[in-house]
């Protein structure tokens, strides 16, 4: 599918504006306990009224501004399309629901199944991370780069887990990282974890399974910031998700060996 630079720039502007607007909407919900309405979706898995309201806002805006584009969102689903928006309205919902600060709004726009625009908002700090294919990665419009850490026993790495993979496998991943001497974190928002890798605060992020709405904006941020990313979109990664390994160039080979990802 061909799309002009001008049309990509329009979508970049929309993604950035939406990320900012949705960060404000999420914070409004968080300030008012009556608007939180936390519901369990499954074991260790929640949805709040803010997840639904943020996704609705983004869907409506996209269908008005870009009526021919497809949409895939965590809460409302969707299907693949040549021009596709992939959105996690609140990534880190469990943190958000408990009043913890690490959650994000993640918006990606893809052409032919690959992200070309990404925007992640971190509502609590007000930071907006953006990336455009071939155009670099930015935090609040300042360029960001991955770190130059190249030794596992100097590395700070986040790993995530969810019910989608067995507990034993999740524990084994953590054990492998700890055995290799890594300083391991588990913060609870994959999108923010990937943004932290892009800006060099973390040196890698890994998880046995994530969905495309958790990943695609962060994947573009990491790649455009000079980092390396596993082949997340292989097979049916867009619709069914995949494992994730995002790392600095200096760590990626050792981490592949240690984690098997």
Q: Least distance in Å: CB of 93 to ligand IPD?
A: 4
Minimum CB distance to ligand IPD smaller for 109 or for 205: 205
Strands 104-111 and 242-247, sheet pairing = unpaired
190-199 helix and 212-224 helix, angle to the nearest 10 degrees: 0
Residue 208 backbone dihedrals phi, psi, to 5 degrees: -70, -30
In the bound state, the residue with its beta carbon closest to ligand IPD is: 160
Residue 2 CB burial class (10 angstroms; 0-12, 13-18, ≥19): exposed
Q: Which is nearer to ligand IPD, 93 or 130 (CB)?
A: 93
Whole-number Å distance between alpha carbons of 91 and 65: 24
**Minimum gap (Å) between residue 56 Cβ and ligand IPD:** 16
Least separation in angstroms between CB 49 and ligand IPD: 15
Structure tokens, 85: 């928006």
Instruction: Kindly state the smallest distance separating residue 158's Cβ from ligand IPD, in Å.
Output: 8
* 240 φ/ψ angles, rounded to the nearest 5 degrees: -120, -5
Closest contact distance (angstroms) between CB of 169 and ligand IPD is: 13
Of 92 and 237, nearer to ligand IPD (C-beta) is 92
Q: Between 88 and 122, name the residue whose CB sits nearer to ligand IPD.
A: 88
Task: Kindly give, in sequence order, each residue whose CB lies less than 8 Å from that of residue 17, ignoring residues fewer than 6 positions away.
Answer: none
Q: Which contiguous run of DSSP H or E holds residue 152? A: none
* Pairing assessment for the beta strands 39-42 and 45-47 based on DSSP bridges: antiparallel
Q: Which is nearer to ligand IPD, 82 or 166 (CB)?
A: 166
For ligand IPD, give the closer residue by CB, 163 or 236.
163
Name the DSSP letter for residue 61: H
- H or E segment to which residue 58 belongs: helix 49-65
Q: Vertex 23, ends 22 and 25: CA angle to 5°?
A: 60
Find the shortest distance in angstroms from Cβ 52 to ligand IPD.
Answer: 13
- Least Å distance, CB 51 to ligand IPD, is 8
Chain residues that interact with ligand IPD, rule: CB under 6 A:
74, 88, 91-94, 160-162, 188-190, 207, 210, 214
Q: Which is nearer to ligand IPD, 249 or 260 (CB)?
A: 260
């Amino acid at each position: 599918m061909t799309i002009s630079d001008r049309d990509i720039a329009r979508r970049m502007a929309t993604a950035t504006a939406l990320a900012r607007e949705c960060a404000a909407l999420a914070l409004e919900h968080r300030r008012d306990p009556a608007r939180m309405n936390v519901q369990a979706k499954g074991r260790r898995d929640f949805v709040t009224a803010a997840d639904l309201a943020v996704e609705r806002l983004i869907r409506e805006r996209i269908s008005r501004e870009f009526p021919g584009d497809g949409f895939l969102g965590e809460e409302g689903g969707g299907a693949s399309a040549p021009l596709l928006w992939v959105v996690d309205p609140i990534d880190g919902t469990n943190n958000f629901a408990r009043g913890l600060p690490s959650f994000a709004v993640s918006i990606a726009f893809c052409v032919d199944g690959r992200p070309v625009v990404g925007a992640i908002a971190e509502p609590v700090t007000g930071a907006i991370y953006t990336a455009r294919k071939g155009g670099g990665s930015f935090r609040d419009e300042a360029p960001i780069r991955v770190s130059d850490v190249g030794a596992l026993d100097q590395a700070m790495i986040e790993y995530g887990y969810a019910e989608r993979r067995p507990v034993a496998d999740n524990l084994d991943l953590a054990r492998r990282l700890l055995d290799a001497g890594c300083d391991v974190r588990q913060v609870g928002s994959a999108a923010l974890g990937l943004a932290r890798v892009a800006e060099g605060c973390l040196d890698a992020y890994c998880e046995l399974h994530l969905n495309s709405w958790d990943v695609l904006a962060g994947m573009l941020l990491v790649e455009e910031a000079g980092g390396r990313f596993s082949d997340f979109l292989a097979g049916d990664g867009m619709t069914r998700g995949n494992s994730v390994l995002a790392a600095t160039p200096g760590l990626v080979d050792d981490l592949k060996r240690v984690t098997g990802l």
